[in-house]
């Protein structure tokens, strides 16, 4: 279970759009069933941590969330605090106690208090690491692998799970796949699989990244930008190639539809349109 690939990294978190991309995906899948808060500020400073909060509401989870966020949805509590390690980050020593500290401060700052049984902690990381495991065991907690790539930490005040995004990447976990190394390293294979049943989610990702390009041009690192752009361009091409021409042209101006067509092709298109129109009129008339 344990492995470690930690390397020397600059202090602080890399500023990428992986975090806001995950927040947007969670909010779009969970919809009105949960409140998704992208960043939790705790402490008097305030202490700024890349922790996101999912707060359950009274509405049932939508089917799309259960299908595309299976591992997370099965473990949601009234309050779920999530520490997210993107593909350009690593789970390391210190992350366990920082998460616990954040949870305690969050409870301390709540106006009416929150029972520990209503809080679940969750870490999304590419892989479990040796250094993180040692820190967990030194705190007196035990680790149980509930499923492949999903570890439950027992013995802490709050129920806690570590979910390995790289090990769970695949069609069964489309959202986690988008934020894993697998989506970067094996994009062609995953694109082919994901586009079959999760095309709407794929287009949502394309739209989000395009917005990040326009609104947050500096909110990135070069590796992530290069790899993600290449991935999304291939993804868009693959989906567009499979989409019927009529659907691609739906809602576009007539001038744009006819652009690039030869005169005989335009005449043929109008002839087909007239034929369909007459057929519809005849069918309507016969019914009356």
Q: Quick one: 75 and 194 in the same domain?
A: yes
Query: Residue 235 domain-assigned?
Result: yes
As a whole number, mean pLDDT of residues 172-188 equals: 84
Q: Quick one: 31 and 76 in the same domain?
A: yes
Would the pLDDT of 127 be above 80?
A: yes
Would the pLDDT of 26 be above 80?
A: yes
Query: Residue 257 domain-assigned?
Result: yes
As a whole number, mean pLDDT of residues 141-155 equals: 97
Q: What is the pLDDT of residue 56?
A: 96
Q: Quick one: 165 and 213 in the same domain?
A: yes
Q: Give buried/exposed letters for 269-286 (b at 16+ CB in 10 A, else e).
A: eeeeeeeeeeeeeeeeee
Query: Residue 287 domain-assigned?
Result: no
Q: Quick one: 85 and 106 in the same domain?
A: yes
Q: Quick one: 121 and 260 in the same domain?
A: no
Would the pLDDT of 165 be above 90?
A: yes
151 vs 179, more confident: 151
Domains: count for the chain: 2
String of DSSP letters for the chain: ----------SS----SHHHHHHHHHHHHHGGGEEEES--EETTTTEE--EEEEEE-SSPPPHHHHHHSHHHHTT--SEEEEEE--TT----TTHHHHHHHHHHHHHHHSSS---GGGEEEEEEESS--HHHHHHHHHTT-EEEEEETTEEEEESSSSEEEEEEHHHH-STTSHHHHHTSHHHHHTHHHHHHHHHHH-HHHHHHHHHHHHHHHHH-TTS--HHHHHHHHHHHHHHHHHHHHHS-HHHHHTT--HHHHHTT--HHHHHHHHHHHHHHHHHHHHHHHHH-
Q: Quick one: 176 and 226 in the same domain?
A: yes
As a whole number, mean pLDDT of residues 55-74 equals: 94
214 vs 150, more confident: 150
Would the pLDDT of 75 be above 50?
A: yes
% of the chain surpassing 90 pLDDT: 42
Q: Quick one: 237 and 275 in the same domain?
A: no
Parent domain of 258? 246-281
Mean of all residue pLDDT scores within the chain: 78
Q: Quick one: 180 and 261 in the same domain?
A: no
Q: Quick one: 232 and 94 in the same domain?
A: yes
Would the pLDDT of 6 be above 50?
A: no
What would the pLDDT profile of 188-246 be if each residue is shown by its tens digit? 777 677 777 787 887 777 777 677 666 655 554 444 444 455 445 555 555 555 555 55
pLDDT bracket for residue 184 (50, 70, 90): confident
Q: Quick one: 77 and 211 in the same domain?
A: yes
Q: Quick one: 210 and 260 in the same domain?
A: no
Q: What is the pLDDT of residue 49?
A: 58
């Amino acid at each position: 279970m344990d492995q470690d690939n930690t390397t020397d990294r600059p202090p602080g978190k890399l500023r990428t759009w992986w975090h806001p991309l995950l927040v947007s995906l969670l909010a779009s899948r969970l919809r009105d069933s949960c409140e998704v808060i992208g960043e939790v500020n705790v402490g008097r400073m305030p202490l700024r941590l890349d922790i996101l909060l999912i707060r359950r509401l009274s509405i049932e989870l939508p089917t799309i969330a259960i299908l595309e966020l299976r591992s997370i949805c099965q473990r949601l509590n009234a309050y779920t605090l999530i520490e997210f390690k993107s593909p350009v980050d690593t789970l390391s020593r210190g992350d366990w106690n920082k998460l616990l500290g954040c949870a305690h401060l969050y409870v301390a700052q709540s106006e009416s208090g929150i029972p520990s049984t209503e809080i679940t902690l969750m870490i999304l990381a590419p892989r479990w690491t040796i250094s993180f495991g040692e820190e967990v065991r030194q705190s007196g907690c035990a680790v149980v692998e509930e499923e492949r790539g999903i570890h439950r930490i027992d013995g802490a005040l709050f129920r806690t799970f570590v979910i390995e995004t790289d090990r769970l990447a695949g069609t069964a976990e489309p959202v986690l796949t988008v934020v894993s190394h697998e989506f970067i390293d094996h994009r062609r294979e995953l694109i082919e699989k994901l586009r079959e049943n999760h095309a709407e989610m794929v287009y949502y990702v394309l739209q989000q990244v395009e917005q990040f390009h326009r609104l947050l041009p500096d909110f990135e690192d070069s590796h992530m930008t290069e790899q993600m752009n290449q991935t999304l361009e291939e993804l868009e091409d693959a989906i567009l190639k499979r989409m019927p021409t009529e659907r691609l042209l739906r809602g576009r101006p007539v001038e744009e539809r006819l652009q690039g067509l030869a005169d005989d092709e335009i005449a043929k298109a109008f002839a087909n349109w007239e034929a369909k129109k007459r057929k519809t009129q005849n069918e309507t008339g016969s019914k009356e």
